[in-house]
């Protein structure tokens, strides 16, 4: 029996995770990458349940936050990706610092981010840099208010230069980060910081920088080795630096897995009894045995929201179209905002006025919207879905990865005649 | 009737008999206008604003300083007065006004030719008064000429008109008046609500107000000789605080909304008609485009009034008929305000009373209490003058109104934004905006940057807003939160909806105000969630995607589960 051919649509974390288990299961994997999604824009923190929700329930129950062990398969994936630092079982979870001036926990994190837990008993030095969005003094002031006595850290802004050229005041974060991919440049950075660090004493300080420590590889460890103090980035959700590092690590892993990668936008997936076909906007359709849809939510582009008045002829829509569509189109797919956001909630489309954003512990409709799947992850016959494209659940890295791993595993098991995929709705 | 109040005109109020001579309730354009006028005439004034300056209709209007063309048909004298006053506003705050050239396309129909001829005659009459406000005469245009001016126009057009109006940033107008009043000695209390109006049990005369600072809960009492209720659509509620029946300050609350788009789609304001025949418009606003407006009775919570998606759809459909490009733009925010329209129109011979009216509640047994009902941004100065004239008579003051003679803060001198940009080595757009908002007072911000060059940092890259201006807004312009800073500087109102600046702005506000740092996060998250609510009603395909990204970013960097993000009152230390 030949290896099942699996086409994975998407190139985010869910797609990569599916490629990982599908390859391991012996499938022949083709990944169709449409471009940038949530994974390439994420901030470097890795959660299972959204951190703000965890911290709030811990606050209410009075229980201490604890890192939970990753399931074996997730651990294996994280190890292969070689991008994150995962907290040890039972240890306090990492405490990250954000450019918004707060501290937050995470299950795991991009290795370049600073974990305050590694800075106990130290003063975290924050170099000033003339860049929009980076104000060391204000960050220090806010973080001093944000850390608890239990963190055992202090903070201070320092004047040591971190920008080498004038234009570096204005280039975007990820470009500045890319400059530190270069060893000579990193050596320069270490040398400008060394004197200040010596002055404070190596044993008593750590170093916090913006999202600038490498775009294709994480450079925090290299800098830390040169300086002899803990070094890391502040988490920034608008920089794209951590996302850039994810994309590099993903490409390397796909390479290792021997997956074929096709660049293109998928417009339609034909499931059903015959062999599924994946239709691209340009180029030949791909024939295969099973499809994994990992096209992301609204951010990734897998789910689109277009209320009837948009794109309608100037005279107004005559027929009411569903406001949510799936990209690629899959016959019979059912999308939802959940609850009261069905197409009938107004004569002209859903009213998101109050529900688009999260409110208290309720997640927002825009976070939740997606395609319905059955309990085994099937969206149609021979079509599985994973990650943010799936309705409900939380939009977090570990959820995307876990569902991707499961979908890849199920896809590879297709060659067994009475496989779960065959029994799909 | 022994206890009947004396007729209003014969009463004389003593000056200096209480903590203040006048308490003004409401920091909209009418409230700050009266505070300025009365202070200039030598009265001791305290103003209380429950939310923020320009929080109500004044900061949420279409911002047109028009010359009252609609009075032309029945009383050209009123149009003349309106145009003259538009000219006065221009003279005292030249930096705040900008020209809005209007195009009024007329679609082909059986009546189109007649319509055009009528409009031509109408605007010809308006042209008579245009020089009073430095306006340009109208032009009758063919369909081809209209398309040449604005290629984005669609529909089967017969022709149209162009005419000239002026626009203003209502929030800046309020801030300027409040600053001037304060500099002349008035006390301005923002974030402070009036909870009750005390009156003498026997004569009914006003004695004092009781106030509460909504952000820290502090309360107090202030004695006063007269009270001006300048609370716009809140006026009936405010009158009730003094034990009057709400109908004594009756008005029709007419809610109106606007939608702002992420880019400048046209250089003209364009009039359009909705499916039910109402006039609406699309207009350029700096680097954005604005669509307005609706008019619906509103009996909801005035302190929490936002646009809804039905209203947005109604406007978009109307505009798209003549200007379809609107569908391709990204809505970046919406705003809503409630007009305090006069309930019953006044006598025909006095057309301006159709717009506003000073109510002396002595007639209702409450001497010393006055309500300003109705009004327009464009006529605020006149309305304030009328109100203050009444007060001046009561206080037996001889000094006449001079608010049209002395400049508002920043309006005394013309500043060259390009020279400023060069001196400070800042972006020319940033300098242009600074000069627009502050006029000659941009010098104060320049001074800050000279002393602390780091304050030239751009906090809000979309608009753009410099750190020095944010600090200035808090230190000098009474801003107390990120929302307040946004109202004064437009920070966070650009394409990214505050994603890139709310946290930073919160930190600055907290630092300037000496609050514990944890409030920075709460203020920022609160601002982001409020902004998001105003966008959610206008989501299209691209907006929704951007919105989902904004939620993910805010969750990652700030967390969105603060318990009281939704509550109106913040909890700050006393
Ligand atoms: C700013 C930000 C901060 C975040 N912070 C955190 C955090 O702190 N903690 C946490 O746990 N999670 C966080 N997340 C969430 C997390 O990143 C996502 O849940 C996860 O990356 C989703 O992965 P995915 O593979 O399902 O979707 P995506 O990464 O969106 O991938 C979808 C992919 O499908 C492609 N695609 C879509 N449609 C098509 C088509 N028709 N044809 C071809 N290709 C297509 C897209 O181009 C994209 O490559 C954050 C996300 C963002 C954006
Ligand atoms: C959609 C719309 C478009 C408009 N377009 C134009 C236009 O283009 N041109 C024009 O000239 N006019 C326009 N107007 C009209 C104009 O904006 C208003 O008439 C004018 O701003 C009213 O000002 P105000 O000071 O009376 O009321 P507001 O600006 O509403 O001020 C009232 C204030 O009182 C405060 N307040 C209420 N209760 C209390 C209390 N108990 N204690 C303390 N403070 C209190 C509120 O917080 C509020 O800030 C428009 C109005 C709307 C709604």
* pLDDT digits 0-9 by tens, B511-520: 999 998 888 8
Is residue A140 included in any domain, yes or no?
A: yes
Q: Using an 8 Å CB-CB cutoff, list chain B residues near A133.
A: 500, 504
Cα angle A409-A415-A420, degrees, rounded to a multiple of 5: 60
Query: Tell me, what's the pLDDT at A256?
Result: 97
Give span(s): CATH 3.30.9.10, chain B: 97-169+253-342
Say if residue A310's pLDDT is above 50.
yes
B308 phi and psi angles, rounded to 5 deg: -120, 170
What mean pLDDT comes out for the span B23-46?
98
Contacts of A182 (CB under 8 A, 6+ apart): none
Closest alpha carbon within chain B to A350: B309
**Residue whose C-alpha is closest to residue B312's, from B264, B265, B256, B273:** B256
What the block records as the tokens of A2 is 């030949």
Is residue A47 included in any domain, yes or no?
A: no
Angle subtended by helix axes B29-40 and B380-394, to nearest 10 = 50
Residue nearest to atom 49 of ligand 1 (CA): A11
pLDDT band at A108 (very low <50, low <70, confident <90, very high): very high
Instruction: State whether residue B539 sits within 8 Å of chain A by CB.
Output: yes
Residue whose CB lies within 8 A of the most ligand 2 atoms, among B167, B234, B237, B358, for a mutation test: B234
B549 phi and psi angles, rounded to 5 deg: -65, -40
Q: pLDDT, tens digit, for every residue of B74-122?
A: 778 878 888 999 999 999 999 999 999 999 999 999 999 999 999 999 9
CATH number at residue A17: 3.50.50.60
Enclosing H/E stretch for B483? helix B482-489
Is residue A50 included in any domain, yes or no?
A: no
* Average pLDDT taken over every residue of chain B: 90
Instruction: Say if CB A322 and CB A341 are below 8 A apart.
Output: no
User: What does the alpha-carbon distance between residue A213 and residue A231 come to, in Å, rounded to a whole number?
Assistant: 10
Q: pLDDT, tens digit, for every residue of B337-359?
A: 999 988 754 444 444 446 889 99
- Three state DSSP letters for chain A: CCCCEEEEECCCHHHHHHHHHHHHCCCEEEEEECCCCHHHCCCCEECCCCHHHHHHHHHHHCCCCCCCCCCHHHHHHHHHHCCEEECCCCCCCCEEEECCCCEEECCEEECCECEHHHHCCEEEEEECCCECCECHHHHHHHHHHHCCHHHCEEEEEECCCCCCCHHHHCCCHHHHHHHCCCHHHHHHHHHHHHHHHHHHCHHHEEEEECCCCCCCCCCHHHHHHHHCCCEEECECCCCCHHHHHHHHHHHHHHHHHCCEEEECCEEEEECCCCCCEEEECCCCCEECCEEEECCCCCCCCCEEECCCCCCCCCCCCCCCCCCEEECCEECCCCEECCCCCCHHHCCCCCCCCCCCCCECCECCHHHHCEECCCCCCEEECCEEECHHHECCCCCCHHHHHHHHHHHHHHHHHHHCCCCHHHHCC
- In this prediction the pTM is 0.90
User: What does the alpha-carbon distance between residue B112 and residue B109 come to, in Å, rounded to a whole number?
Assistant: 5
From A209, A239, A269, give the residue that closes a domain: A239
Is residue A297 included in any domain, yes or no?
A: yes
User: What does the alpha-carbon distance between residue B114 and residue A80 come to, in Å, rounded to a whole number?
Assistant: 77
The verdict on a CB contact (< 8 Å) between B309 and A352 is yes
Is residue A129 domain-shared with residue A252, that is, in the same domain?
no
Which is the closest atom of ligand 2 to the Cα of B51? 47
Is residue A164 domain-shared with residue A254, that is, in the same domain?
no
Query: Tell me, what's the pLDDT at B553?
Result: 92
Contacts of B366 (CB under 8 A, 6+ apart): B199, B204, B205, B206, B242, B243, B244
Is residue A292 domain-shared with residue A325, that is, in the same domain?
yes
- The answer to whether the CB of B242 is under 6 A from ligand 2 is no
How many distinct structural domains can be found in chain A? 2
Tokens 């907006």 found at: B543
Is residue A261 domain-shared with residue A360, that is, in the same domain?
yes
Query: Tell me, what's the pLDDT at B275?
Result: 84
Residue B357's DSSP bridge partners are B373
Is residue A48 included in any domain, yes or no?
A: no
Residue B193's DSSP bridge partners are B212
Say if residue B568's pLDDT is above 60.
no
Is residue A203 domain-shared with residue A271, that is, in the same domain?
no
**Which ligand is located closest to the Cα atom of residue B68?**
2
From A239, A255, A272, give the residue that closes a domain: A239
Say if residue A419's pLDDT is above 70.
no
Q: Using an 8 Å CB-CB cutoff, list chain B residues near A146.
A: 517-518
**Residue whose C-alpha is closest to residue B31's, from B252, B147, B181, B224:** B181
Contacts of A313 (CB under 8 A, 6+ apart): none
Is residue A371 domain-shared with residue A299, that is, in the same domain?
yes
Contacts of B9 (CB under 8 A, 6+ apart): B393
Is residue A49 included in any domain, yes or no?
A: no
pLDDT band at A141 (very low <50, low <70, confident <90, very high): confident
Is residue A359 included in any domain, yes or no?
A: yes
State the pairing for strand pair A95-97/A5-9. Answer: unpaired
Is residue A229 domain-shared with residue A259, that is, in the same domain?
no
**Which ligand is located closest to the Cα atom of residue A106?**
1
Is residue A288 domain-shared with residue A404, that is, in the same domain?
yes
Q: Which of B313, B547, B558 sits opposite A100 (nearest CB)?
A: B558
Which CATH code is given to the segment(s) B97-169+253-342? 3.30.9.10
**Residue whose C-alpha is closest to residue A104's, from A94, A112, A117:** A94
pLDDT band at A339 (very low <50, low <70, confident <90, very high): low
User: What does the alpha-carbon distance between residue B366 and residue A111 come to, in Å, rounded to a whole number?
Assistant: 71
Residue B98's DSSP bridge partners are B167
Query: Tell me, what's the pLDDT at A40?
Result: 97
Instruction: Say if CB B559 and CB B551 are below 8 A apart.
Output: no
Contacts of B368 (CB under 8 A, 6+ apart): B13, B205, B206, B225, B226, B227, B362
Which CATH code is given to the segment(s) B20-57+171-251+354-394? 3.50.50.60
- The answer to whether the CB of B330 is under 6 A from ligand 2 is no
From A193, A212, A239, give the residue that closes a domain: A239
- The answer to whether the CB of B62 is under 6 A from ligand 2 is yes
The verdict on a CB contact (< 8 Å) between A145 and B324 is no
Residue B48's DSSP bridge partners are B25, B189
User: What does the alpha-carbon distance between residue A347 and residue B17 come to, in Å, rounded to a whole number?
Assistant: 61
Q: pLDDT, tens digit, for every residue of B110-168?
A: 999 999 999 999 999 999 999 999 999 999 999 999 999 999 998 889 999 999 999 99
Angle subtended by helix axes A72-81 and A13-24, to nearest 10 = 110
Tokens 């809503």 found at: B336
Closest alpha carbon within chain A to B555: A52
Dihedral through CA B71, CA B374, CA B21, CA B37, nearest 10? Answer: -40
User: pLDDT higher for B3 or A162?
Assistant: A162
What the block records as the tokens of B466 is 């410099």
Ligand 1 site: residues with CB under 6 angstroms?
A 9-15, 32-39, 41-43, 45-47, 237, 265-266, 294-296, 299-302, 327-328, 387-388, 395-397, 400; B 549, 552-553, 556
B66 secondary structure, DSSP code:
-
**Which ligand is located closest to the Cα atom of residue B335?**
2
DSSP-based three-state secondary structure for B245: coil
Instruction: State whether residue B113 sits within 8 Å of chain A by CB.
Output: no
Give span(s): CATH 3.50.50.60, chain B: 20-57+171-251+354-394
B57 secondary structure, DSSP code:
G
State the pairing for strand pair A122-127/B288-292. Answer: unpaired
pLDDT band at A316 (very low <50, low <70, confident <90, very high): very low
Parent domain of A398: 5-40+245-420
- The answer to whether the CB of B30 is under 6 A from ligand 2 is yes
User: What does the alpha-carbon distance between residue A319 and residue A306 come to, in Å, rounded to a whole number?
Assistant: 14
User: What does the alpha-carbon distance between residue A408 and residue A421 come to, in Å, rounded to a whole number?
Assistant: 11
Is residue A15 domain-shared with residue A86, that is, in the same domain?
no
Instruction: Report ipTM (2 d.p.).
Output: 0.93
Number of Cβ atoms within 10 Å of the Cβ of B417? 18
Say if residue B26's pLDDT is above 50.
yes
DSSP-based three-state secondary structure for B134: coil
């Amino acid at each position: 029996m030949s290896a099942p051919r699996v086409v994975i649509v998407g190139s985010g974390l869910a797609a990569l995770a599916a490629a990982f288990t599908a390859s391991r299961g012996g499938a022949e994997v083709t990944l169709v990458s449409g471009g940038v999604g949530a994974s390439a824009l994420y901030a470097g923190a890795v959660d299972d349940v959204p951190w703000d929700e965890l911290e709030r329930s811990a606050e209410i129950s009075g229980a201490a936050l604890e890192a939970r062990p990753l399931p074996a398969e997730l651990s294996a994936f994280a190890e292969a990706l070689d991008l994150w630092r995962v907290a040890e079982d039972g240890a306090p979870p990492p405490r990250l610092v954000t450019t918004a001036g707060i501290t937050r926990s995470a299950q795991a994190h991009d290795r370049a981010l600073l974990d305050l837990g590694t800075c106990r008993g130290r003063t975290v030095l924050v170099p000033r840099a003339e860049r929009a969005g980076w104000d060391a003094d204000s960050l220090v002031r806010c973080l001093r208010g944000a850390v608890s006595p239990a963190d055992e850290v202090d903070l201070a802004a320092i004047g040591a230069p971190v920008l080498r050229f004038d234009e570096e005041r204005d280039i975007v974060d990820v470009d500045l980060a890319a400059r530190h991919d270069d060893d000579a440049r990193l050596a320069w950075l270490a040398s400008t910081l060394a004197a200040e660090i010596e002055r404070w004493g190596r044993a008593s300080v750590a170093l916090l920088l913006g999202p600038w420590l490498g775009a294709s590889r994480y450079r925090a460890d290299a800098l830390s080795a040169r300086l002899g103090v803990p070094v890391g980035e502040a988490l920034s959700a608008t920089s794209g630096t951590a996302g850039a590092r994810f994309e590099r690590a993903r490409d390397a892993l796909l390479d290792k897995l021997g997956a074929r990668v096709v660049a293109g936008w998928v417009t339609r997936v034909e499931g059903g009894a015959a062999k599924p076909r994946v239709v691209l906007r340009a180029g030949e359709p791909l024939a295969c045995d099973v499809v994994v849809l990992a096209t992301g939510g609204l951010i990734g582009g897998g789910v689109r929201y277009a209320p009837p008045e948009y794109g309608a002829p100037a005279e107004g829509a005559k027929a009411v179209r569903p406001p949510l569509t799936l990209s690629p189109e899959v016959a019979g797919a059912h999308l939802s905002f959940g609850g009261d956001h069905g197409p009938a909630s107004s004569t002209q489309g859903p009213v998101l006025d109050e529900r688009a954003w999260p409110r208290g512990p309720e997640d927002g409709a825009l976070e939740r919207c997606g395609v319905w799947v059955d309990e085994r992850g099937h969206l149609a016959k021979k079509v599985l879905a994973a990650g943010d494209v799936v309705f409900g659940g939380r939009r977090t890295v570990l959820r995307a990865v876990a569902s991707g791993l499961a979908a890849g595993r199920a896809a590879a098991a297709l060659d067994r005649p009475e496989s779960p995929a065959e029994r799909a709705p | 009737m022994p206890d009947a109040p004396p007729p209003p005109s014969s009463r004389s109020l003593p000056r200096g008999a209480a903590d203040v001579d006048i308490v003004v309730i409401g920091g909209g354009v009418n409230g700050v206008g009266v505070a300025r006028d009365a202070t200039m005439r030598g009265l001791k004034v305290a103003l209380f604003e429950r939310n923020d300056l320009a929080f109500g209709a004044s900061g949420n209007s279409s911002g047109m300083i028009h010359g009252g063309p609609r009075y032309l048909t029945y009383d050209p004298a009123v149009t003349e007065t309106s145009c003259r006053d538009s000219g006065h506003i221009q003279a005292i705050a030249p930096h705040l006004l900008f020209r809005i050239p209007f195009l009024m396309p007329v679609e082909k129909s059986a009546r189109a030719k007649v319509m055009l001829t009528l409009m031509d005659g109408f605007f010809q009459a308006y042209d008579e008064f245009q020089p009073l406000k430095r306006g340009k005469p109208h032009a009758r245009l063919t369909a081809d000429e209209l398309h040449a001016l604005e290629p984005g126009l669609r529909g089967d057009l017969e022709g149209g008109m162009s005419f000239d109006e002026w626009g203003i940033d209502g929030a800046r107008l309020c801030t300027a008046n409040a600053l001037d009043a304060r500099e002349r000695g008035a006390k301005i209390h923002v974030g402070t609500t009036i909870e009750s109006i005390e009156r003498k049990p026997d004569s009914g005369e006003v004695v004092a107000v009781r106030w509460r600072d909504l952000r820290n809960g502090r309360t107090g009492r202030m004695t006063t000789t007269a009270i001006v209720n300048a609370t716009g659509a809140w006026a009936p509620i405010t009158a009730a605080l003094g034990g009057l029946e709400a109908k004594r300050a009756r008005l029709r609350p007419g809610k109106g909304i606007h939608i702002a788009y992420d880019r400048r789609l046209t250089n003209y304001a364009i009039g359009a008609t909705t499916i039910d025949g109402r006039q609406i418009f699309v207009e350029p606003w700096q680097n954005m485009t604005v669509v307005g407006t609706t008019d619906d009775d509103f009996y909801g919570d005035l302190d929490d009034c936002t646009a809804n998606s039905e209203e947005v759809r109604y406007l978009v459909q109307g505009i798209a008929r003549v200007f379809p490009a609107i569908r391709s733009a990204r809505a970046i925010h919406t705003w809503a305000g409630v007009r305090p329209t006069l309930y019953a129109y006044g006598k025909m011979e006095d057309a301006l009373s159709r717009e506003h009216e000073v109510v002396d509640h002595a007639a209702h047994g409450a001497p010393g209490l006055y309500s300003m009902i109705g009004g327009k941004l464009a006529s605020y100065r006149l309305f304030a003058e009328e109100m203050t004239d009444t007060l001046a008579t009561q206080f037996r003051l001889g000094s006449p109104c001079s608010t049209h003679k002395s400049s508002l803060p920043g309006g005394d001198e013309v500043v060259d934004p390009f020279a400023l940009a060069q001196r400070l080595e800042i972006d020319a757009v940033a300098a242009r905006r600074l000069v627009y908002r502050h006029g000659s007072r941009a010098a104060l911000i320049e001074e800050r940057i000279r002393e602390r060059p780091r304050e030239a940092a751009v906090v809000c890259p979309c608009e753009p807003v410099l750190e020095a201006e944010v600090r200035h807004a808090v230190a000098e312009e009474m801003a107390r939160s990120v929302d307040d800073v946004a109202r004064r500087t437009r920070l966070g109102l650009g394409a990214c909806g505050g994603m890139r600046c709310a946290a930073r702005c919160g930190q600055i506000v907290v630092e300037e105000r000496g609050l514990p740092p944890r409030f920075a996060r709460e203020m920022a998250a609160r601002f982001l969630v409020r902004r998001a609510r105003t966008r959610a009603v206008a989501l299209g395909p691209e907006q929704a995607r951007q919105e989902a990204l904004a939620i993910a970013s805010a969750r990652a960097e700030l967390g969105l589960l603060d318990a009281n993000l939704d509550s109106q009152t913040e909890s700050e230390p006393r």
